[in-house]
Amino acid sequence: MMNFYERVLQNPNYYRQFNCGDSLITAFNCPLEARMMKTHFADLWTKYNYLFYVVEGRKVWHTANQAYEIGRDTCVFVRKGAWVLENFLDEGFCVVLFFIPDEFICDTLKTKSKPLNVHTNKYEPVMILDKSDTLSGFFHSFSNYFSDNYDPDRSLLELKFKELILTIADNPQNAELLSYFGSLLHEPQHISLQRLMDENYCFNLGLEQYAQLSNRSLSTFKRDFQKLYGIAPGKWLLEQRLNHAIRLLNDTQKSIGDITFLSGFESISHFSRSFKQRFGIAPSAFKQERVVAI
């Protein structure tokens, strides 16, 4: 899968970028000729949460369980992880974009005069924010930086990032995102690891990428995973992906190629080989038997 953050970072000709430390970046992209996504669907991932305001255009974010069509004048928070982006190649997409690591969010929230204690388990990978006048004004004012010929001071950029987080956290209408913010501050690490794996196992990510998403080294990720699940992460991922593929074969009319992609396998040959080893039958034969039975 493509690392969305790295893709943006490595293409300054497409995106006007402002860096604040090693892990924060702001980007603005508007002209039709500047679009980087040349295919209708792109599978992406990032170890950072990101937040964006759509000035023009639309795209669809496909997560493991749901699709979100995002259009003009919408503010969105996307949790770190993987997704499939559906592009409309006949339309431009103009956006103000912020990558925001967990640590920065937590450090900023701890400065609130009123502590954030809201915490439930109800939040989605993609969250639409309340479009308050204050938040809309923030994005419109920030976009003015991109018309200047110089980069803002890094201290100013850090203050703007903090302002953005605190503005969102100060609005009770953003209850779902406030719940996620609360989980970053208070949720036990084993719960966050379990949620991460449950939401992203069906994407073609490697163990190193899962470790980055969990803010762990690879060795620590493997150790914590084994302790939580009682099985090596590679074996667990294969089992989950195969079970997901079985559900798709039973419940949909999707092709073997689509099921391979949607279940996180690298290729049809890898999927077919793994499926036959696990279930004793090739996925194509399984699909045909199901059609005959119906």
3-state SS assignment for residue 252 = coil
Running DSSP on this structure, what letter comes out for residue 131? -
Q: What's the pLDDT at 33? A: 39
Question: Same domain, yes or no, for 227 and 169?
Answer: no
For the chain, what is the domain count?
2
3-state SS assignment for residue 209 = helix
Question: Same domain, yes or no, for 70 and 132?
Answer: yes
Q: 75 and 131 in contact (C-beta within 8 Å)? A: yes
Walk along the chain (294 residues) and give the pLDDT tens digit of each residue: 999 998 888 877 777 788 887 667 777 666 543 455 567 788 999 999 999 998 888 899 999 888 999 999 899 999 999 999 988 867 778 888 899 999 999 999 999 988 876 667 678 999 999 989 999 888 878 877 877 777 888 888 899 999 999 999 999 999 999 999 998 988 888 889 999 999 999 999 999 999 999 999 999 999 999 999 999 999 999 999 999 999 999 988 889 999 999 999 999 999 999 999 999 999 999 988 875 554
Write down the H helix ranges in 125-255: 133-143, 154-169, 175-186, 189-200, 207-213, 218-229, 233-251
Q: What's the pLDDT at 88? A: 81
Instruction: Return the closest-CA partner of residue 141 out of 32, 53, 35, 23.
Output: 53
Running DSSP on this structure, what letter comes out for residue 202? T
Q: Which residues contact 44 (CB under 8 A, 6 or more apart)?
A: 1, 2, 3, 4, 7, 82, 83, 84, 85
User: Cα-atom radius of gyration of the chain, to the nearest Å?
Assistant: 21
Calpha distance 213→291 (Å, rounded): 39
Calpha distance 30→35 (Å, rounded): 8
β-partners of residue 97 are: 27, 52
CATH classification of the domain holding 250:
1.10.10.60
Question: Same domain, yes or no, for 173 and 280?
Answer: no
3-class SS letters over 43-112: EEEECCEEEEEEEECCEEEECCCCEEEECCCCEEEECCEEEEEECCCCCCCEEEEEEECHHHHHHHHCCC
CATH classification of the domain holding 48:
2.60.120.810
Calpha distance 5→132 (Å, rounded): 27
Question: Same domain, yes or no, for 265 and 148?
Answer: no
Q: What are phi and psi of 72, to 5 degrees?
A: -55, 145
Calpha distance 60→70 (Å, rounded): 6
Question: Same domain, yes or no, for 216 and 236?
Answer: yes
Question: Same domain, yes or no, for 33 and 52?
Answer: yes
**Tokens in use for 132?**
């308050």
Calpha distance 153→160 (Å, rounded): 11
Q: 183 and 119 in contact (C-beta within 8 Å)? A: yes
The last residue of a domain, from among 186, 214, 234: 186
The last residue of a domain, from among 153, 186, 219: 186
Question: Same domain, yes or no, for 52 and 174?
Answer: yes
The end-to-end CA distance of the chain, in Å, is 36
Q: 125 and 79 in contact (C-beta within 8 Å)? A: yes
Q: 143 and 136 in contact (C-beta within 8 Å)? A: no
Return the ∠ at Cα 89 (arms to 139 and 125), rounded to 5°: 50
Owning domain of residue 39 = 2-186
Question: Same domain, yes or no, for 172 and 268?
Answer: no
Question: Same domain, yes or no, for 132 and 111?
Answer: yes
